[in-house]
Structures are given as structure tokens and as C-alpha cells.
Structure 1
Amino acid sequence: MPVKVLVVDDSGFFRRRLVEIFESDPRLKVVGTATNGKEAIEKVQSLSPDVVTMDYEMPVLDGIAAVVNIMKLKPTPVLMFSSLTHEGAKVTLDALDAGAADFMPKNFEDISRDSAVVKKALIDRVLAVARTRLAGSRAPVEPLAPRKAPKPIVTAKGVIIPRVRKRVGLVAIGTSTGGPMALQAVLSQLPSDFSAPLVLVQHMPAAFTGAFAERLNNICQITVREAKNGDRLEAGVALLAPGGKQMMVDPRNGGCVKILDGDERLNYKPSVDVTFGSASKSYPGKVLSIVMTGMGADGREGARMLKNSGSKVWIQSEESCVIYGMPMAVEKANLADDIIDLEHIGERIVREVG
């Protein structure tokens, strides 16, 4: 059965072009279109699409209000389209907060060209969003069990040697689809006196990461900011890799980050693999890394390097992921030291860092 798509946009050109692209793939079937948010809500209820593509700026009712109502009345995966501006980024984050599963930049020039790359990207994203898990569909998560003290080592001569955990020198988190809300859930649990620096990699366009860092900083007790070349790694400060760039961890000057343009051959800018790999060399055996929700396998090779250097690798559980792609890649490579529900990751980080 093909995936049923509802296309919502007040631009006749954009609607027609999306319909053409989706109908060119036998895995997709456009079951309807809508020109405003009110019409979208009605058609979601009458047509029961598997996924909705949603514009933000529309008459009668905008995209965010439409998403809020859809999630109340008939929860359905939504892919938002937004402009590549700072304001567009803030609107997109509001839409994700309202329940949208993912987003794509709305670029009329790209969509008007008969580009195989653009068509594939759109189709792949819609198919992926159709498979996402909605927050309300997840089973309740059990509370985290009280922490047990590590058992001491008893030698043959009866000498008791307490187990000493390696101090965490750096927390590194990588994520993609579903990541903005997942990072918000995790980082908001960290206290203001958190005693380790953090580096964050979220797959996002360049125009979005600044607004995302601002939002995280406003809701978290720790400090969150978009990383700049030479920024120092400081306890209680999370540096978010800027979109379109690569962020590497540098051990010099007490620990800092380098922001580079990176290799054009890399699929992701920023890339979790690049940041994790550099962290494995800069903080051997002292990194606590977490791979969270997202499409693809970015983070797997970086996790391998971290494991080989003696650091820990955690992944988000399948049940709590929007898309279990990146964590699954780490799990299938037998690199995960622990699999944790999203609701418990923040608390576990606090425990581990101490």
C-alpha cells in the first residue's frame, strides 16, 4: 500500500509541484490538497492521510495552529516547510514543539527545477516522516531505579579496592530527525552547576542553529550557544555545531572547538561522526556520548572511535525515538553500552557526570 499524503500550501504553484513529485513515486499517493490550516484539519479527519506536508504562512489558519489541532483531533505525522531565515527557524521550532515530526526548507528555486536530487530528498523525507512515532502513541516509561553503589573489587588476599569511575571530561550528543525536541527534553534536566562541558550536533541548516541555540538557552539551566571557532569547552556550557559547518574538538588551550567548512564529500554538515571522532582523540576514555533519534547512520563511526578509545556510548531507545535510524546503526554495530528511554537520558547523564 502506498503512503497517503495530504499536501497543504496556499501557493498553487507549490501545491502542484509537490503533487507532481510525490505522484512520480509509486510508494506515495496524494489523497488530497488544502489551501489553509482550517481546510487541512478537516481533510486530515476525512481522508486519514499517513503524512501531511504543511506550509506555515497561510490564510484563515496558519500552519502551527493547524498542527496543534491535528495533534488533538487526529494525530498524524507532519512535515513542515519553512523559509531559510532566522524568523523562519523560530517558526519551525514552534511547529516542532506543537507536534510536527520534521521540517524542510521551502525553496521555490529548488522545487521549480526538475532536479533528481531535490525530488529524491523530498520523497525520502516524506517516507521517513510517515514512519515516525508520535509522542502520544508511546507506552508509559517506568521510573528510573535508584542508583546502586558500585561493588568493590576484593583481591585474593582479601584487600578491598573500591571501584573508581573515570571522570567524564566531555558529554557529546548527536541527533537528527526528532532531535530538537529530544535535545530540549534532555538538556532541560541538567542543573546549572553541571560539572562537564557539552558538544551538540543536530542536523540543521545554517539559518536554524542560531535560533535553536537561543531557544535551548532560554529554557535550560545550563548555558547553550551556537559554537564559534575557538570557543572554550567549559563546565555547564553546551556548544551547538553551526549548520553548514563541521565542529571538531581540540584539546589545546584547555579544550576548545574548531569550526571548519569541512569536506564536500561528507553528507552531513554538521556531522556527528566528525565531532565524535575528534572528541575520541582529544578526550580518550573520558567522553560520555549519546546518539539520539534520527535518520541514517551518522554517529556510528564516531561512536566506534570513542569505544576504541575507552569512552562510553549510549543510545536512545527505539520506543522513545521519532526515527530509530542513527541509534539503530550504533546498536547493530554492537557499540552501545546502554539503551535508554528519552525521559531518563538527562537524569542518567547527571548521575554519570556526578
Structure 2
Amino acid sequence: MRKVLSSIIGGIPGAVIVGTAYDGRDGLSKIRSLRPDIVTLDIEMPHLDGMGVLQELRLLPVAERPAVLICSTLTSAGSHAALKALRLGASDVILKDPHSLGAGGDAAKVDLTGKIKALYESKHRCPATSAPRASVATPGSHASPPRTIDLSGKAIEVILIGSSTGGPPVLEQILMALPADLPMPVVVAQHMPRMFTKSISERLDEECALSVVHAEHEMPLLPGSVYITPGGLHSRIKPNAKGRATLIVAEDPKGALYKPSVDELLASGAALGPRALGIVLTGMGADGAIGAKAMHASKGIVIAQDAESCVVYGMPRAVVEAGAASAQLTPPQICAAVRQLAPFGQGRPSSQSAA
């Protein structure tokens, strides 16, 4: 796997491999001396495993921490371990499959290259030592969105969340802060393979006051429940005349770049107009911008995660630059805003995140 990764990364224009390591301790030593921008890290290693390395990296000054791509197997155990690694600070996941990354695995190579480029650009665009910056919209287009929002008294019927690179820990933070008596359902589109989205739903169901399920086609959308879209599929909400919505889970559009597609999910929320709330979290690319524009046009509310708290400020930035963001908030602010929709509920503190 190390040779395959080295071959792919070495072929990325501008990328330089400054070192390789044979175990966790050697890797940690080289990280401290070579100061790389990005590290690919296996979970299973002798002497000091990937979790141990991540815990040690958390002791470094923020400016000296590299972005970490964790290598994981596409199994239940591997996906749960990868999610723990993300909670410990890893930025994203690489599937530990030399065959898909080797000959003929063009999609996997493109995905890895995209992640490395996005993490590098994010690290150097927003250095940890810089002061917080105001959001900047595209010149001549739209003003920067507000840094606060008041949702109290809003008649929201559904919350739609889109998330990608760096998203699972933020998603967990938000959902764990919400009370069991949340008066509307939450539907999530997280860019991950199906095994990982299943593991996310299992963990969140154990940790959250809300009921969390791995979504299935035509499930009724119930208050106080969270529906995680399976990887490889898309989800859309389908309102009905009785005021209750159902969830459509399907393969179409099969040619979508991201599966699940945040655009598909948010666009379906436009049918509810001001009764839908969309939230776009950290992630590379622009998935969610088209759907957010549809929601915005129908007077729906869309919150984008702020640049400073994003692992990759791609998806939220696209929403902001499209003029579709009602507000741009930090994860704790998002937690507080959504909790306004259930003022008498008792969720967990927004800062809590179990390891």
C-alpha cells in the first residue's frame, strides 16, 4: 500500500514526498523533523498504531500539525476505526485497497489526488496562526452572509445537512447537541462509502438523544429522528398532502459526481420553501451550491459552516459565493441555532464529542 500511495502522490504535479516510515514511532519522529503538510497514516502499525500517532499529533502546536489521511479497510471494524481516527483529528479517509488504487483504479486515483490538493490548499489558504477573516463573496456578486442567525419561532419542518471532508466529527457535534424532542426530522448526505455511512448511523444512534437510522427507501420522516443517506445512493424528501414527508432513496442520478449528492437533497427541500433548513458543512468541491440556490430561491434557510472551522472550505464557500447562505456559522453556533427550534429540549452540550 505504501508503494502504491507513493507512486500516485509522486505523480501529482507540485507534490513532493519528503519521507516514508516503517512504523508509528518512526513516522512520528519524521513528522516532527520534516514538518510535512500532509501525512497518509495506516491504523495498524507496529510499536505505535495510527490512533497513537494521532493522539501524539494533538500535542503539537496547531501550526505544526499536518493534515492526516487515514488508511482504512472497507469493513465494519475498519469503518468504525476510521471514524474514531477522524474524531482524533484525521482529515479524511483513504480506502485501503491497493487494487482500486493500482492499475485501472482511475476514480480512486482522482479521488486521492483531489483530497491531497484540497487539503494542501486549505492548509495554506487559512494558516492556523492567522487571525479570523471575514467571509469574502465573489466580487460584484453578493454580500458576505451574517455571522449570526435567529431561528426561534421559525416553522421549520425538516433539517437537511450536507457534509464531506472533515464532516463526521462536526456532524456528530451538532447531532449530539440536539434534544430527543426535536420537532422535525433531520436528513444527512455525507460523502462516504456505504459501510462508513452505516457505521456513522450506528455510532450516532448510540450517542445521540435523537433516533438515528441508516436510511431506506420510502421511510416516513418522523420528528426527533435522523436519517443518514447510504453511501452510493441519493436521498430526497417527498412532502405529502397530510403534512408528513417520506424519504426517497435511489441510485438516480447515476452519473452524479458525489453519492450521496448534497445538491439532490437540498434541491428537494426547496418544495417546502421557508419550512426547510439546509446546513452545508466542511468539504471539498461545490456539492450543495446548486441545491442551496434552489432552497434560497424558494425562501428556505441555508447555513454554511464558516471558513475558519472547516477542514476544507470548499462546499460552504460555493454556497456563500452562490449568494445562497442565510448565515455563516461555527459548529457551536450551528448547534445553538438549531436548538432554538426546540427551546424546551435537553440535548447534550455542543462541545461534547465522545472518543
Structure 1 residue 177 corresponds to structure 2 residue 165:
yes
CA distance in structure 1 between the aligned counterparts of 2:122 and 2:89, rounded to whole angstroms:
11
1:250 to 230, 238, 242: 238
Number of residue pairs matched?
A: 323
- Opposite residue 236 of structure 2, the aligned amino acid is M
Preserved contact between residue 168 and residue 353 of structure 1 (Cα < 8 Å): no
Judged with a 3 Å threshold, the aligned counterparts in structure 2 of structure 1 residues 228 and 71 are, in CA distance, closer, same or farther, namely: same
Please report the TM-score for the alignment, with normalisation by the length of structure 1.
Answer: 0.85
Counterpart secondary structure, 2:51: helix
Structure 1 residue 300 corresponds to structure 2 residue 285:
no
CA distance in structure 2 between the aligned counterparts of 1:58 and 1:298, rounded to whole angstroms:
35
Counterpart secondary structure, 2:302: strand
Alignment of 1:1-354 (within 5 A): 14-73=1-60, 74-113=64-103, 115-132=105-122, 165-252=153-240, 254-281=244-271, 283-352=272-341, 354=343
Judged with a 3 Å threshold, the aligned counterparts in structure 2 of structure 1 residues 209 and 219 are, in CA distance, closer, same or farther, namely: same
Question: What is the CA distance between 1:209 and its match in structure 2?
Answer: 0.6
Structure scoring higher RCO (CA < 8 A, sep ≥ 6) equals: 2
Judged with a 3 Å threshold, the aligned counterparts in structure 2 of structure 1 residues 24 and 349 are, in CA distance, closer, same or farther, namely: same
CA distance in structure 2 between the aligned counterparts of 1:77 and 1:86, rounded to whole angstroms:
24
Deviations 1:327-347 (A, max 9, x none): 110111111111111111011
Give me the CA root mean square deviation. 2.5
CA distance in structure 2 between the aligned counterparts of 1:213 and 1:135, rounded to whole angstroms:
33
Please report the TM-score for the alignment, with normalisation by the length of structure 2.
Answer: 0.85
Unaligned runs of 5+ in 2: 133-146, 344-355
- Opposite residue 32 of structure 2, the aligned amino acid is Q
Preserved contact between residue 214 and residue 227 of structure 2 (Cα < 8 Å): yes
Structure 1 runs (4+) deviating above 6 angstroms are: 134-140, 145-150
Judged with a 3 Å threshold, the aligned counterparts in structure 2 of structure 1 residues 65 and 199 are, in CA distance, closer, same or farther, namely: same
CA distance in structure 2 between the aligned counterparts of 1:276 and 1:61, rounded to whole angstroms:
42
CA distance in structure 2 between the aligned counterparts of 1:276 and 1:203, rounded to whole angstroms:
14
Counterpart secondary structure, 2:237: strand
Unaligned runs of 5+ in 1: 1-13, 151-164
- Which structure: larger Rg? 1
Counterpart secondary structure, 1:84: coil
Q: Which residue of 2 aligns with 1:162?
A: none
Deviations 1:210-245 (A, max 9, x none): 110111122221111111112111111111111111
- Opposite residue 191 of structure 1, the aligned amino acid is P
- Opposite residue 294 of structure 2, the aligned amino acid is M
Question: What is the CA distance between 1:17 and its match in structure 2?
Answer: 2.0
Question: What is the CA distance between 1:115 and its match in structure 2?
Answer: 4.5
Judged with a 3 Å threshold, the aligned counterparts in structure 2 of structure 1 residues 131 and 69 are, in CA distance, closer, same or farther, namely: farther
Question: What is the CA distance between 1:132 and its match in structure 2?
Answer: 4.3
Question: What is the CA distance between 1:247 and its match in structure 2?
Answer: 0.8
Preserved contact between residue 101 and residue 132 of structure 1 (Cα < 8 Å): no
Identity of aligned residues (%): 34
Preserved contact between residue 167 and residue 286 of structure 1 (Cα < 8 Å): yes
Deviations 1:172-212 (A, max 9, x none): 11111111011111111111211111111111101111110
Judged with a 3 Å threshold, the aligned counterparts in structure 2 of structure 1 residues 300 and 57 are, in CA distance, closer, same or farther, namely: same
